[in-house]
Amino acid sequence: MSDNRPIGVFDSGIGGITVLKALRARMPHENLVYLGDMARLPYGTKSAETVTAYSLQTTKHLLTHDVKMIVIACNTASSVALAPLQKALAPLPVIGVIEPGADAAVKATKTGHIAVIATEATVRVGAYVRAIHARAPDAHVLQEPCALFVTLAEEGWLSGDVVEAAAHRYLDPLFNRKNAPDTLVLGCTHFPALAKTIRKVAGRGVRLVDSAETTARAVEDALDIQGLATKRKTRGKTKFLATDSAERFARVGGIFFGEVIRPKDVEIVDLQFG
């Protein structure tokens, strides 16, 4: 059987398009629907209760598109809303970015010293620390909230002196030390867009774990296991939804996606009123 229903993907804004890009590259025949909650970003500075409420509203709208799976392309939402969403939407599969990222980090490290850069909310709840220690109890995990990286990525500032200065501010305390981490988890879906600068500042010997790539692999495996993968051979369609700022979504989102997104192709939706 072939299940041609789309995969629903959501984020607080544009950063989750790095996950969308990875999904498109890994599963070119699947239909995808992406919803960016531009009107209420960032999620990373909000309470767990607020993020969970926003996530439930977002997924409720995605359900109107007859999705076969929900992908939480947001580390903050994954860290606090994954379990509530899985409970509310069962038996619909819901996949976040934390678990795949933690699994990849444990497999990548040679020394057991791992650093995680993320939003304030993801660091505060310790989602990656718990997930990594569940797999490797003796791992030594350092965390650093990097809120400015989100702003830079959302503005399309992906390289240059300002981005490099911010990277030094965040990363130097992590890597200019004894027993420095050999693995760095990009614990926010915005951060892969800044990977070139992050790699330069962290050092060439540091392994970067891209939550977008690891999540795409987890989604592909889940589709195969549950018999939800499409069998068609034509390229899948990608639909873009946003709660505000179609022009900005298209401009910056196109940089993240690696393809032109036209403002007219971004549908503005109101989550409060369906």
Domain match, 240 and 135 both:
no
- Residue 82, pLDDT > 90, answer yes
Domain match, 202 and 102 both:
yes
Q: Is residue 176 part of a domain?
A: yes
- The pTM assigned to this predicted structure is 0.91
Domain boundaries, position 12: 7-96+213-268
Catalytic residue list contains 188:
yes
Task: Indicate which residue of 188, 202, 212, 223 is catalytic.
Answer: 188
Q: Is residue 2 part of a domain?
A: no
Q: What is the CATH number of the domain that holds 59?
A: 3.40.50.1860
Of 55-69, 81-95, 113-127, the range with the lowest mean pLDDT is 113-127
Q: Please, is 150 exposed, middle or buried when counting C-beta atoms within 10 Å of its C-beta (0-12, 13-18, 19+)?
A: buried
Q: Is residue 243 part of a domain?
A: yes
- Give the total number of structural domains in the chain: 2
Q: Is residue 1 part of a domain?
A: no
Q: Is residue 274 part of a domain?
A: no
Domain match, 113 and 129 both:
yes
Report the distance separating Cα 57 and Cα 54, nearest Å.
5
Average pLDDT of the segment spanning 218-235: 96
The predicted pLDDT at position 43 comes to 87
Task: Indicate which residue of 14, 74, 139, 218 is catalytic.
Answer: 74
Domain match, 144 and 228 both:
no
Average pLDDT of the segment spanning 222-238: 96
Average pLDDT, the chain: 94
Domain match, 220 and 206 both:
no
Strand pairing of 207-210 and 183-187? Answer: parallel
- Residue 274, pLDDT > 50, answer no
**Per-residue model confidence as pLDDT tens digits over 150-187:** 889 878 888 999 999 999 999 999 999 999 999 999 99
273 falls in which pLDDT band (50, 70, 90)?
low
Q: Is residue 231 part of a domain?
A: yes
The predicted pLDDT at position 1 comes to 76
Residue whose C-alpha is closest to residue 69's, from 250, 216, 262: 216
Q: Which tokens hold the place of 237?
A: 């369609």
